[in-house]
Amino acid sequence: MPDAQTLAALLIGAGALAAAVRLLLLRRGWAGGALAALSLASGALLWLTLFPPLLPVGGETLVVATAESPPGTRAAPGERLVALLEAPALAGAERVPDLATALRRHGQVQRLRIVGRGLPARDRDADAGLPTRFDPLPLPRGLVRLDPPADTPAGGVFALGGAAQGLEGGTAELLDPAGRVVDSRVIGADGAFTLGAAARAPGLATFTLRLRATDKALVSDTPVPLRTLAAPEPLRVALIGAPSPEAKYLRRWAEDAGFDLGSRLNAGAGVDLGGGGGVRLDAASLRKTDVVIIDDTALAGLGGGGRAALAQAVAGGLGVVVRMTGPASAASRGQWRSLGLAVEGGTEAAPIALPPLAADADALAALRGPGSGDAPAGLNTLEDPVPELGRWAVSAGSQLVPAVTDAEGALVAGWQQRGQGRVLLWTMPESFALVLSGQSDRYAQWWSRALSAVARPDRQFRPTLAPLVQTGERMAICGLAEGARITAPDGAETALAIDPAAGAAGCAAFWPKVAGVYTILQPGDEAEARFDFLVLVEGALQTIRAAETGAATALWAARQDAPSARTPPERRGPAWPWLLGWLALTAALWWGERRLRNAAA
Amino acid sequence: MSRPVAAAEWLRPARRRAVADHVAIWSPLALVLGALGWALEGFALALGLFALAALALAWSAKSVAARLDRTWLVRSLNAREAGLEDSAALVFAADALTPFQQMQADRIAARLATLDPERLADSWSQRRIALAWALGAAALAAIAWWQTQQSAPPPLAPTAEATATPPAAPRLVGQRVRIVPPAYTGLAPSFSDSLDIRAPAGSRIEWTFGFDPAPASAALQLVGGQRIPLSQGDDGWSGALRLDVPALYRVTAAGMEGELPAHRLEPIPDEPPQVRVVEPASGLVTMTPGQRSWRIVFEASDDYAVDPLARLTLTTAIGQGENVRFAERSQTVRGTGDPRRRRFVIDLPLAAFGLEPGSDLVAQLTIADTRSPSPQMVRGPGLILRYPAPQPPQAEGLDLMAKQQMPAYFRSQRQVIIDTEALIRQRGSLSADEFMVRSDTIGVDQRLLRLRYGQFVGMEAEEAPRPPLPTADKDEPAEPEHYDGDGHDHGAAPESPIFGSLGDVTAEYGHVHDESEAATLLDPDTRELLKKALDAMWQAEVSLRTGKPEAALPFENTALDYIKQVQQASRIYLPRIGSQQPPIDMTRRLTGKRAGIVGKGAQLTPFAIDDAVPATAWRALAQPGAIDLAGLDQWVRANTGRIRDPLSVLAAIDRLRAAPQSRALREKLRGALWTVLTRPPTTVHRRPDGGTLGRRYTEGLR
């Protein structure tokens, strides 16, 4: 079906053509020709009256003043100045509540120019469809990026990253909740830094990131929340292998970390030194297990049936750690492949480069915390020699995800997904040497990373939200179900309304008003799940937000400029000149035709 | 004629004057010394110094007087009185005089009698006396001034405390804190500017406070502890305490109201001393030939002072192999230098130790600091001086083969018997040829064993024995890079090690011939037994190699018997120490049953984190609600040794106790508790399964 424009053109053209032919048949000669031409022209004018041609409109540039616009901002000739809410008072600027309102009010503008820090998030949601120019202001001095630590298991080491602008040669310090410096880095030329510390008991703790200039003057203190999750139920681990120091220290760690550990340590001739009820590898038992740690010889000794049961359990969500005790053979690689672990190599040994335990002795002491009777504080110092450790160098494709790497990035342990579960290959045959040389915290950290990567996933309530929130900003909380509530630090409780448009993600919006620790309460099948998050004081993230706004506005502006997005302004000219022309022409035609008929008569 | 005058009478006035003059000049010094002693230490030192100075003065005065002898008298008389005609010596002469001299002497004596001995005395050296007394007076004044400056306590400093108090209640208006460190530290008493005190452990802290208006009573209240009443003196209320444990305290007075600020009392513990080895550079030193003495230098450092006396423990291990004798002796050494950093230089004469090649001398220094009571002892690193064992003689030619220290693998006599018995049992299932071959193999083993034992009785090998079994775990050497005669010879490569060369004493230290008496190392009885064993082995070998294991078996058993006797003859019995093995259950021994051999399995005790109290409090503080502050307080006090800064935690607890619902104070305590929490062993963080969507996604993965 042709559109209205084409249809009208066809109909009018056909009518005008018929009239012209009729006039030509009526009277040959110049007069008939002229009238025929006039009727054609009248048809054309009629079409133009209905569909006036597109005219070049406006030609104006809209200057949008945003936060931190320079005071002297003026509209140049051919420009119109509007000021968003965040902008300072500017002479001659029209206040608009947002960009969309400005565009609606000034429909004739053809270009946008944004001055100041950039458009806030609410104005970047929709495209303006106009070519936009935006020259970002130089980044503010201070903290311009902060990647807070991810949720950390109790006792684990966490890291946070950030970047500072204009503080080269200064220091970035991480302060623990008691205000002691636990890590410190000199800020380099690119401004980026990484800091780390260790988590303690489960809960939400507030660290502080302190930036100092070259002359040690305080630049900023930014709170950094650290969430340490408590395990609702102990991890169920099955340890299968030969009695060995590795098994001994794994058992030690598993006991200390509070796992529900079953072990099968086969000493030969059917003697199991594991104690307890032993470990069974049938489908029903494996469903009740979260991780199986098995050494390569024990895996080979399972037989095809046992490995098939294991592989099936992996597809159902079980995590399996295959611990290499010797070089891999073609047969063993085949067995691993049947579990879903496709690796090559593994016959050559390579040394492991251990990163230093901490930057200096003080940082190490802060990392380890106060000792206890079981773990004395002065366990291992920085000066002690690091143990010489080796790994079997395996090569794998991109499917193998590294879980533990050494200081040079070489793979120590890597996992691969199979169905709902994961299989991890631990290539370090003598990791217990870490414990023997006093680095048991590193041993626990590496094994924790490995098991965290593969352990059977849980269904703990864990909503997703932005890691850094400050008051006065809208935030989205996802992963909620009906009945979720939120408790503010002042005790006020708010029910969260889930946005039906978000679908399965289960998202709700929330505007925190006061700073402090908020708790999301989600009623569940058995008990109410809780989730704490920290809301910072407004302005705590000022420089970060400024840098983010600038970068996002530059991206947004680039998207407006992209040719694919540029839509021509569809503005038709006024129809009345064409109507007058058509009327005059039609009147002349009527008069001419009448004279023609009279002359003919 | 006796001379009327004695020299002593003439000298006495002069001597009296000289002594008086000397004492007058130097006595101010003695006074000043005494005053200095008084100022520094007290009456005892003052008296001691003064007595010492007085003694020295007396001695020097005596020597001054002694200088005025007869020679001086004669000389000065002659010089002063021309009328004596330079003959005064004759008057005071001791020996008999010639008549002419006697006449002159009488003449002079008569003239002398007219003279006054007092005129001989020197006049007072007034200027020197005046100067000495002026200087002495100035010094005494300076000491007195210094002393008054020293002892007068500074006036009470105005307090910085700004507490809102009702007008009638007493307010703290002045404070003075005097810290008297323990005497052994050698630190002078000092005054603290603030009421937060950090002082060496064991210090005595003396407070003086001024209140306005004057209260009825005042006290220092230790937070969670004792109460020290203050007594009113001339310049205020004062009290004292010995600082041993960290604590918080408040200054209270009768009538004071409101929340009083808490101050810190923090002892600085005395660090144990440290020992560092300066010389030698490494812990193990090899003795050089002809070395007579060994010089070792330690440096000991401490925060206050190192005891100059230290104990050096010297352990000698003399002898080689199993025959090592240990002896330990210790001696006291004296350190020099700054008390905080003493050097102990020790030159050990080596002759006294009777070192032999292969023996060790271990030196270790134990130092102590001056803490009282109970000095802290620290044992330094051990230094070893090793007398190198002599290099084994260089081997040449064929002996080189015997140098290889490789474990030799050969079957024991017992193994030969077991093999033979097994062969006899399997006889039915083996073909005749196979049986013969196996019997022969056992025979070869028996022969090797015979040769092995034969070496001890000087038996020359009939032929070069070739090892029929692998003699070492070592892999075959890689293909050499060189070919013979390429001009790059490492000498002849040693042959594959000879069977039984391990511990082959005779081959290593001598050359054996078939003259057995000359080569044997065993006593005649043992040798006799060994020979019998060899004979039995020979018989067994013959039977085995001819395929008659049954016939060989009795001989083999006989040989084993003899070998056991030989071994017992030369065996050294050592007491077993160390692990206590459980008794053997004879009922199940050799039954092959394995049921129940693993007891209850390896039971592990989980890591106990003894910080349940602070961890509970840390979690509880995140939410509003009551906190067990008393329990937390008690826990912190019980664990002060482990915590770096217990006072800050106690202070936070104390502040929160006053205002239990304050959010800021709760946050503060929660932060302070972070330093107390033990880091648990890293646990595992399970990943979320991603909900229905995530599960569907992972199921769709191939």
CA–CA gap between residue A185 and residue A359 (Å, rounded): 9
pLDDT at site B530:
81
Distance of residue A504 Cα from the nearest chain B Cα, in angstroms: 8
Contact status of B568 with chain A (Cβ, < 8 Å): no
Q: Which of B488, B463, B276, B288 is nearest to B386 (CA)?
A: B288
Do residues B346 and B207 share a domain?
Answer: no
Residue A146 has pLDDT above 80, yes or no: yes
Residues B363 and B454 in one domain: no
Q: Which chain A residues touch B702 with a CB distance below 8 Å? A: none
Question: Does residue B30 lie in a domain region?
Answer: yes
Report the pLDDT value the prediction gives residue A508, as an integer from 0 to 100.
92
Between A330-339 and A303-315, two packed helices, what is the crossing angle to 10 degrees? 40
Range(s) of the domain holding residue B120: 7-149
- From A226-230, A517-521, B140-144, B494-498, the region with the lowest mean pLDDT: B494-498
**Count of the separate structural domains present in chain B:** 5
Would residue B700 count as lying in a domain?
no
Tokens of residue A15, six digits: 């009518």
Chain B, nearest residue to A374 by Cα: B607
Q: Are residues B443 and B556 in the same domain?
A: yes
Beta bridge partners of A79: A61
Tokens for A166, please give them: 């204009």
Q: What is the 3-state secondary structure (H, E, C) of B357-424?
A: CCCEEEEEEEEEECCCCCCCEEECCCEEEECCCCCCCCCCCCHHHHHCCCCCCCCCHHHHHHHHHHHH
Chain A contact for B682, CB < 8 A? yes
pLDDT score of A426:
94
User: Residue B614: closest CA among chain A residues belongs to which residue?
Assistant: A201
CA distance A252 to B605: 9
**Are A156 and B682 an interchain contact pair (Cβ–Cβ within 8 Å)?**
yes
- Partners of A462 on chain B (C-beta within 8 Å) are 688
pLDDT tens digits along A274-287: 765 678 888 888 99
Q: Do A180 and B606 touch (CB under 8 A)?
A: no
Q: In DSSP terms, which residues pair with A257 in a beta bridge? A: none
- Using an 8 Å CB-CB cutoff, list chain B residues near A155: 679-683
Rounded to the nearest angstrom, the gap between the alpha carbon of residue A598 and the centroid of all alpha carbons in its chain is 83
In a domain, B689, yes or no: no
Nearest chain A residue to B692 by CA: give it.
Answer: A504
**B688 belongs to a structural domain:** no
Nearest-CA distance A166 → chain B (Å): 31
Residue A519 parent element (H or E)? strand A516-523
Return residues 132-151 of A near B (CB < 8 Å). Answer: 151
Residue A20 has pLDDT above 70, yes or no: yes
CB contacts under 8 A, A 311-340 vs B, are: 317
Q: Is the pLDDT of residue A107 over 80?
A: no
- Whether A241 has its CB under 8 Å from any CB of chain B: the answer is no
Residue pair A42/A580 in contact (Cβ under 8 Å)? The answer is no
Q: How far is A104 from chain B (nearest CA, A)?
A: 40
Which of A347, A285, A359, A278 lies closest to A316 in space, CA to CA? Answer: A285
- Contact between A258 and B682 using a beta-carbon 8 Å cutoff: no
Report B:578-597 residues touching A (Cβ under 8 A): 594, 597
* pLDDT given for residue B495 in this prediction: 43
Beta strands A79-83 and A94-95 are: parallel
Which amino acid is located at A375 in the chain?
A
Q: B542 and B440 share a domain?
A: yes
Sorted by where each starts, the structural domains of chain A and their CATH numbers stand as: 4-54+575-600 (no CATH), 60-137+546-565 (3.40.50), 142-230 (2.60.40.10), 236-454 (3.40.50), 464-536 (2.60.40.10)
- Return d(Cα A39, Cα A28) in angstroms, integer: 15
B677 close to A (CB below 8 A): yes
| Cβ contact A194:A161 at 8 Å | yes
Q: Point out the domain boundary residue: B237, B268, B299.
A: B268
User: Which of A96, A550, A68, A572 is closest to A80 using CA atoms?
Assistant: A96
Residues of A in contact with B609 (CB under 8 A): 372
Please tell me which residue of chain B has the smallest CA distance to A503: B693
Of B386, B420, B448, which marks where a domain is finished? B386
B698 touches chain A (CB under 8 A): yes
Inter-chain touch B604–A448, beta carbons under 8 Å: no
Same domain, residue pair B32 and B78: yes
What stretches of B49-182 adopt beta strand conformation (E)?
157-158, 171-180
Instruction: Collect all residues of chain B within an 8 Å Cβ-Cβ radius of residue A157.
Output: 682
B466 with B375, same domain: the answer is: no
DSSP track, B255-307: T--SPPPPEEEEEEPPPPPEEEEEESSSSEEEPPTT--EEEEEEEEE-SS-B-
Interface test with B, best of A182, A248, A374 (most B CBs within 10 A): A374
Residue B480 pLDDT: 39
pTM of the full structure: 0.62
Q: What is the pLDDT confidence band of residue A383, given thresholds at 50, 70 and 90?
A: low
Nearest CA in chain A to B652: A178
Reported in sequence order, the residue ranges of A524-571 that DSSP labels E, i.e. its strands, are 528-536
Q: How does residue A160 score in pLDDT terms, banded at 50, 70 and 90?
A: very high
Are A458 and B689 in contact (CB < 8 Å)? yes
Cα–Cα–Cα angle for A454, A456, A459, nearest 5°? Answer: 130
Q: Write the residue in B604, B692, B699 that is nearest to A419 by C-beta.
A: B699
User: Taking residues A116-144, what's their average pLDDT?
Assistant: 87
Q: Which residues contact B338 (CB under 8 A, 6 or more apart)?
A: none
Choose the mutation target among A175, A200, A244 for the interface with B, i.e. most B CBs under 10 Å. Answer: A200
pLDDT of residue B455: 72
* Contact state of A504 with B691 under an 8 Å Cβ cutoff: yes
Provide the token pair at A204.
């939400």
Q: Tell me the CATH number at B176.
A: 2.60.40
Rounded distance, CA A295 to CA B399, Å? 49
* A-B Cβ pairs (cutoff 8 Å, strict): 181
Mean pLDDT for the stretch of residues A184-201: 89
- Is B691's Cβ below 8 Å from some Cβ in A? yes
User: Which A residues 504-523 touch B at CB under 8 Å?
Assistant: 504, 516-517
Lateral strand order in the sheet of A203-212: A152-153, A218-229, A203-212, A171-175, A181-186
How far away is chain B from the Cα of A343, in angstroms, using its nearest Cα?
A: 17
Residues of chain B with pLDDT under 70: 1-5, 150-154, 160-167, 258, 320-323, 391-411, 456-523, 567-580, 598-604, 606-610, 702
Domain check: are B616 and B533 in the same one? Answer: no
A301-342 residue pLDDT tens: 888 888 999 999 998 889 999 999 989 999 999 999 998 888
Please name the member of B607, B680, B689 whose beta carbon is closest to the beta carbon of A154: B680
Q: Is residue B592 part of a domain?
A: no
pLDDT recorded at residue A520: 92
Identify the band that residue A553 occupies on the pLDDT scale cut at 50, 70 and 90: very high
Of A92-101, A189-198, B11-20, B581-590, the least confident: B581-590
Are both B419 and B553 inside the same structural domain? Answer: yes
Among A28-32, A445-449, B491-495, the range of highest mean pLDDT: A445-449
Residue by residue, DSSP assigns A106-171 as: -TTEEEEEEESS---HHHHSS---S-EEE-PPPPPSEEEEEEPPPPEETT-EEEEEEEEES-TT-E
**Long-range contacts: B68-75, Cβ < 8 Å, 24+?**
B68/B11, B68/B14, B68/B15, B68/B18, B69/B11, B70/B7, B70/B11, B73/B7, B73/B10, B73/B11, B73/B14, B73/B120
Q: Which residue of B has its CA nearest to A489?
A: B623
**Contacts with A, B 153-182, CB within 8 Å:** none
| Range 41-100 of A in CB contact (< 8 A) with B | none
Q: In this predicted structure, what is the pLDDT of residue B97? A: 78
Does residue A379 surpass a pLDDT of 60?
Answer: no
DSSP state string for A61-117: EEEEE-TT--TT--PPTTEEEEE-TTSPP-TTPEE-SSHHHHHHH-TTEEEEEEESS
Residue B616 domain-assigned? yes
CB A172 within 8 A of CB A494: no
Instruction: Tell me if chain B has a CB within 8 Å of the CB of A305.
Output: no
- Calculate how close chain B gets to A456, using CA atoms only, in Å: 7
How many angstroms separate the CA of residue A369 from the nearest CA in chain B?
6
Query: Helix H segments across B426-471?
Result: 432-454
Of B601, B670, B686, the CB nearest to A452: B686
B289 shares its domain with B406 = no
What pLDDT was estimated at residue B570? 53
What pairing do the DSSP bridges indicate for beta strands B383-386 and B284-286?
parallel
- Locate tokens 């009345």: which residue? A576
- A492 CB neighbour count, 10 Å cutoff: 11
B268, B298, B319 - which closes a domain:
B268
**Least confident interval from A63-67, A217-221, B228-232:** B228-232
- What's residue B514's pLDDT? 43
Beta carbons of A373 and B643 less than 8 Å apart: no
B25 and B107 share one domain: yes
CB contact under 8 A, A157 and B682: yes
Residue A437: its pLDDT value, please?
82
Let me know whether B564 and B444 are in one domain: yes
Judge: B686–A202 Cβ closer than 8 Å, yes or no. no
What pLDDT shows up at residue B573? 41
B681 inside domain? no
- Does the residue B293 lie in any domain? yes
**CA-CA distance, A225 to A515, in Å (whole number)?**
13
Q: B247 in helix, strand or coil?
A: strand
Same domain membership, residue B549 and residue B447: yes
